[in-house]
């Protein structure tokens, strides 16, 4: 596997794992309800399988991120690690009935554009 393939696979894996983690937290919050400082709420949280899915996602993202940093430039890697904001937004539309305002859509476009521009910039610098 070439360095480029490792980086691409790593980015894709990181986005998938981070998306899984955030969606798992959203599903857990639906099971437990609004946070209330009570033993009932903590008991519901401990019994939610989605909490454990989210914790597993954080662990997977950590190991994926550490491996990715061995092979990818930090700037684009850091920017791409925030792509899950866009993927969670897209998944939340059908899964949770979320509405996307013009501001949210513009923000998502800015995130993606920023990642693309950082990648192009890094690519030009490495070839110079």
Separation CA 8–CA 120 (nearest Å) = 14
What pLDDT band is residue 125 in, cutting at 50, 70 and 90? low
pTM > 0.75: yes
Domain extent listing, the chain? 3-127
Q: Where are the alpha helices (DSSP H) in 33-73?
A: 39-47, 49-71
% pLDDT > 90, the chain: 43
Tokens coding 26: 């959203």
Computed over every residue of the chain, the mean pLDDT equals 86
Neighbours of 19 (CB within 10 A): 21
> Taking a C-beta distance cutoff of 8 angstroms, is the pair 87, 19 a contact?
yes
- What would the pLDDT profile of 105-121 be if each residue is shown by its tens digit? 999 999 888 888 877 77
């Amino acid at each position: 596997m070439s360095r480029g393939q490792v980086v691409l696979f790593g980015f894709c894996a990181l986005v998938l794992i981070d998306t899984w983690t955030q969606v798992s937290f959203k599903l857990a919050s639906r099971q437990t309800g609004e946070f209330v400082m009570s033993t009932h709420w903590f008991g519901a949280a401990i019994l939610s399988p989605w909490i454990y899915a989210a914790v597993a996602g954080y662990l997977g993202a950590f190991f994926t991120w550490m491996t990715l940093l061995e092979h990818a430039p930090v700037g684009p890697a850091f920017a791409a690690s925030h792509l899950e904001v866009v993927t969670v937004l897209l998944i939340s539309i059908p899964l949770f009935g979320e509405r996307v305002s013009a501001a949210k859509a513009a923000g998502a476009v800015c995130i993606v554009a920023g990642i693309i521009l950082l990648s192009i910039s890094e690519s030009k610098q490495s070839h110079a």
